[in-house]
Structure 1
């Protein structure tokens, strides 16, 4: 399977690197996995939202080739509700502004194509699900994001689920930044198998946290 990891100006490095390294490490245990760093605009160096940290995309985001597409969130300053004393430059460096700028690129169209493609899974870490929501791509779907963005996600017509990883079929979303490791291992188990996922989990000495939510089984009843 080909897993493509999306970069855009201002992305959060850990959102990308954690699941990317999970799938990269899996290549030591199976020949079923390949990985690429990609952008909507093609190969090139992409600046993250952390000064002096960049990654290099080696390919185009291509829903026709990818089996899995992982979308990160942004690294920057959060914007508390009602805050208005920021300069224009400071406001442009906030997470909402960085995420909003992705909507002016070719990324939303490519993600829409990916979500419409049979057999392709779109996954997000942290604010990546907010990009999908702002683009109007996941109305009525179940998803999660960083706890600071849950209210905004719900306002976008998403069924907000407070879980570290939320599996809604061809849409799999994860919460805050460190959840990218859990997302990567969960997807590796789901798409490749538990034996390879366990080997990578042991290599990383990381135990996944919490239950990956799926719309399956009886709903809990109050005591």
Structure 2
């Protein structure tokens, strides 16, 4: 199994690295990718990360979209809106494939909603963005992690580690998730809200 963590200009590093490191600690191969292919990607907090590959919507496994970081809410929304067009087609393709789980952290669900991919689905985001998420026809739930079948979303920035642990439990097993939880000295918060 492989996890693709999708970077875009202005991404929030903790949204990306929290689940990336959690998944790799649990034995899932993870790669930083972009819709455009390998490149340096500026984060929203003043440093860049190198994406080593291009987003492959045909790849089974996990496709994870982080949120954005900026000084104001308006700037965050602008970064998310700018990311949506490039991600719309490949993420739609991934959602249509068996064997692919699409996951988001924080504003990542807003990227997908802005791309028209979440209407009628159940998801979460940072508590400050729940109203915006609902405005796109999403059943916005104020939970830390929400599962809606092949779509798993996490709330605020620190929930990315909880998301990674939940994905490990789901894909590898509870024992491995517990091992990583102990390794990180982190206890998951809240119950995973399920749409079904």
TM-score (normalised: structure 1): 0.86
CA displacement at 1:75 relative to structure 2: 0.3
Partner of 1:119: 99
- Matches of 2:70 and 2:195 in 1, distance apart? 33
Pair 1:45 & 2:27 matched: no
Relative to structure 1, is the Cα distance of residues 136 and 104 closer, same or farther in structure 2, using a 3 angstrom cutoff?
closer
Structure possessing the higher radius of gyration over alpha carbons: 1
Q: Distance in 1 between matches of 2:72 and 2:126?
A: 11
Contact 1:69/1:122 (CA < 8 Å) preserved in 2?
Answer: yes
Task: Quote how far apart the aligned CAs of 1:26 are.
Answer: 1.4
Which residue does 1:20 correspond to in 2?
20
Alpha carbons 2:3, 2:30 under 8 Å: kept: yes
State the 1:35 CA deviation: 1.0
Are 1:70 and 2:51 counterparts?
no
The CA RMSD measured in Å over matched residues stands at 1.0
How far residue 78 of structure 1 moved from its aligned partner, in angstroms, is 2.8
Deviation of residue 203 (structure 1)? 0.2
d(CA) in 1 for partners of 2:134, 2:158: 22
Number of the residue aligned with 2:113: 133
Count of paired positions: 196
Q: What is residue 101 of structure 1 aligned with on the other side? A: 82
Q: Which contiguous aligned blocks of 4+ residues in structure 1 show a shift greater than 3 angstroms?
A: none
Gaps of 5+ in 1: 28-32, 80-90, 217-223
Give ranges in structure 2 of 5+ residues lacking alignment. none
